[in-house]
Amino acid sequence: MSGQERPERVEDWEPVRSRLLTIADRLEQGGEEEPARMSTVLDLADELSKDTTPYVLAGLVVLLPNTYPGETCGEYAARLREAVTD
């Protein structure tokens, strides 16, 4: 891969950030009170990064927090949004 495909500026992480927020939205659409499952989160990350460079999926995997036992999708989505917003 060329150096141009690697994220080197803060702006290059915007695709990762926007996809993290989309994951939060999708989890809530599936049911805020449903149990949060890491497998579902990772499936969404994979789906949302198919049209991008591998660095976007790598960034998602690195930044995704683990789900807690008993955590709902709504709770996880809120934690995810908090982690990526100013």
DSSP the chain: --GGGS--SGGGGHHHHHHHHHHHHHHHHTTTTSBP-HHHHHHHHHHHTTTS-HHHHHHHHHHPPPPPTT-BHHHHHHHHHHHH--
Q: What is the mean pLDDT of residues 1-14?
A: 57
Q: How far is Cα 11 from Cα 29, in angstroms, rounded to an integer? A: 28
- Residue 11: the pLDDT is 56
pLDDT tens profile 17-39: 999 999 999 999 989 899 999 99
Mean pLDDT of the chain: 87
